[in-house]
Amino acid sequence: MAATHMPPDRTPRAAASVRLEDVCKSFGPIVAIDRISLEVPAGRLVTLLGPSGCGKTTTLRVIAGLEAPTRGRVFIGGEDVTPLPAAQRRVTMVFQSYALFPHLTVFENVAFGLRLLRQPEAEVRRRVEEALALVGLEGTEGRFPARLSGGQQQRVSLARALVMEPAVILFDEPLSNLDAKLRKHVRAEIRELQRRLGITAVYVTHDQAEALSLSDIIVVMHMGRVEQVGTPEELYRRPSNRFVADFIGEANLLPATYHRGEVVVATYRLPYQQEGITDGDWTLLVRPEAVRLDAGDEGLPGTVRTAAYLGVHIEYRIETPVGMLFAIGPADRAQVHPVGSRVTATFDVGGIYLLAR
Ligand code: ATP
């Protein structure tokens, strides 16, 4: 999978779409998911993103057939699989814990599902070797999981999923046991492989950066429900509510009014158009990179409270009449604003968005 390594390309396996229709799942009095409907087109990677306990894993388990929904239907490749057991769904799952057998070699771990299906030995060998090549692990067949790095173990578990040639692969926080740098690397590999093989994937994470970087489509979940579905850019630029705005990326949420084509924040008036906006009270989302700081008179006045140098840029916290403003500015010396200095903030209209109060 690494860029230096060119595994064999192959025709896309029979990737299938996934559709949930009005799915609910309760555990006694606990409603884990509540009327979830969503569509995963064949060959795409869709992420379920949300805070702990919002129902992501339950949704994944319902797709896998490991939980029966209390209500609603699950379709894979257009077929209603709701009554089918997990083994008949052509779906495999990759877990955060890798779930590898410590006493089996890499080869036998990957071969495990094929052996259960009593596949002939030559077929097992061919498919295991092919799967290991896909994840860049040829030559490790005889090793035991404990002798591999975390990243390699996660690749073995990915190979074990690929070897079954599933119609859909489900990922349940597969990178949470890896350190930050490796996580970034392996997620890029997963994405590259998913694209190249045209696999349909549903990927669960609570990490918004992971979701933004990986997904064709993100489904933002909150308390068992879907808050918004969209491409990473749609969710970042046009979140449908405060929860999504705050959960995806960094967000300043400022009290504002809209009056005759202008957004008004304290004394700052900014010409702005947005579909469906009427005069009245709104919450203004301002992304930190849309904040410009200078010494002019026109804008939102403030005082720099913190300035954190991060190499590529500086992160500021500015105290303003409407609360603390988080801003990102250039680290170029000539443009740095020291702590305690008075500044005027203005906003790029490309990085702002009005939300219902
Ligand atoms: P996390 O990121 O922490 O894994 P999640 O978004 O995946 O969270 P779920 O694991 O789907 O959330 O859980 C959703 C809700 O359902 C939670 O309140 C959880 O406690 C509850 N729940 C999940 N599985 C069970 C179960 N087997 N029995 C009882 N309650 C459960």
Q: How confident is the model over 202-218, as pLDDT tens digits?
A: 999 999 999 999 999 99
Predicted pLDDT at 338: 93
Higher pLDDT residue, 9 or 308?
308
What pLDDT score was predicted for residue 125? 95
Phi-psi region of 219 (alpha: psi -120 to 50; beta: other; left: phi over 0): beta
Measuring from atom 18 of ligand 1, which residue has the nearest CA?
53
**Can you tell me which atom of ligand 1 is nearest the CA of 33?**
14
* Atom from ligand 1 closest to the CA of residue 221: 6
Q: Which long-range contacts (CB under 8 A, 24 or more apart) does 184-190 make?
A: 185/151, 186/151, 186/154, 186/155, 187/213, 187/214, 188/213, 189/1, 189/2, 189/135, 189/136, 189/155, 190/158, 190/214
Three-state DSSP class for 351?
Answer: helix
CA 229 → CA 47, 166, 195, 220, 240, distances in Å? 10, 25, 20, 6, 10
Please give the distance, rounded to the nearest whole angstrom, from the Cα atom of residue 100 to the centre of ligand 1: 23
Residue 203 is encoded by which pair of tokens? Answer: 């990927």
Please determine, for residue 321, whether its predicted confidence score (pLDDT) is greater than 90. yes
Distance from Cα 11 to the centre of ligand 1, integer Å: 37
Residue 196: the pLDDT is 87
98-109 core/surface letters (b: 16 or more CB in 10 A; e: else): bebeeeebbbbb
Cα separation, 315 vs 318, in Å, equals 10
pLDDT for the residue numbered 3: 38
- 75-100 average pLDDT score: 90
Min mean pLDDT across 89-93, 179-183, 249-253, 273-277 is at 179-183
Q: Which atom of ligand 1 is nearest to the CA of 204?
A: 7
What confidence score (pLDDT) does residue 13 get? 57
- Nearest C-alpha to atom 20 of ligand 1 is from which residue? 53
CA dist 171 and 48 (Å) reads 10
Q: Which atom of ligand 1 is nearest to the CA of 224?
A: 14
Nearest CA to ligand 1 atom 15: 32
Most ligand 1 atoms within 8 A of CB, residue of 20, 23, 57, 247 to mutate: 57
- Residue 2: pLDDT over 70: no
Strand-pair category, 200-205 with 45-49: parallel
Q: Which amino acid, one-letter code, is at 295?
A: A
pLDDT digits (tens, 9 = 90+) for 236-279: 999 999 999 999 999 999 999 999 999 999 999 999 999 999 99
Spatial CB neighbours of 134, under 8 Å, sequence gap ≥ 6: 1, 7, 8, 159, 162, 193, 197
Give the distance (Å) from ligand 1 centre to CA of residue 55. 6
The amino acid present at 4, given as its one-letter code, is T
Rounded average pLDDT over 144-164 = 89
The DSSP code for 277 is -
| Ligand 1: residue whose CA is nearest its atom 24 | 58
Mean pLDDT (whole number) for 150-172:
90
The residue contributing the CA closest to ligand 1 atom 25 is 27
pLDDT of residue 180: 82
Please give the sequence-ordered ranges of beta strands (E in DSSP) within 61-208, or none if there are none.
Answer: 71-76, 79-80, 91-95, 168-172, 200-205
Tallying the residues shown for the chain, one arrives at: 357
The CA–CA distances, whole Å, from 130 to 33, 137, 248 equal: 38, 10, 37
Interval 13-26 mean pLDDT: 92
Looking at residue 283, what is its pLDDT? 97
Return the pLDDT at 117.
87
How far separated are the first and last CA of the chain, in Å rounded? 46
Q: How close is the Cα of 58 to the center of ligand 1, in Å?
A: 6
Least confident of 40-54, 178-192, 240-254: 178-192
CA 26 to centroid of ligand 1, rounded, Å:
10
Using CB distances shorter than 6 Å, the residues near ligand 1 are: 27, 30, 32, 50, 52-58, 206
Instruction: Among 25, 54, 170, say which to mutate for ligand 1: greatest number of ligand atoms within 8 Å of CB.
Output: 54
Q: How far apart are CA 124 and CA 126, in angstroms?
A: 6
- Residue 11 has φ and ψ, to the nearest 5°, of -65, 145
Whose Cα sits closest to atom 11 in ligand 1?
55
Q: Is the pLDDT of residue 1 over 70?
A: no
Q: Whose CA is nearest to atom 14 of ligand 1?
A: 55
Whole-prediction pTM: 0.88
How much is the pLDDT for 8?
Answer: 41
Backbone torsions φ then ψ of 81, nearest 5 degrees = -100, 5
Mutate to test the pocket of ligand 1, among 25, 26, 27, 60 (most ligand atoms within 8 A of CB): 27
Tell me the C-alpha to C-alpha distance, in Å, between residue 264 and each of 161, 190, 348: 53, 45, 14
Per-residue pLDDT band for 135 (boundaries 50, 70, 90) equals: confident
Q: What's the mean per-residue pLDDT of the chain?
A: 91
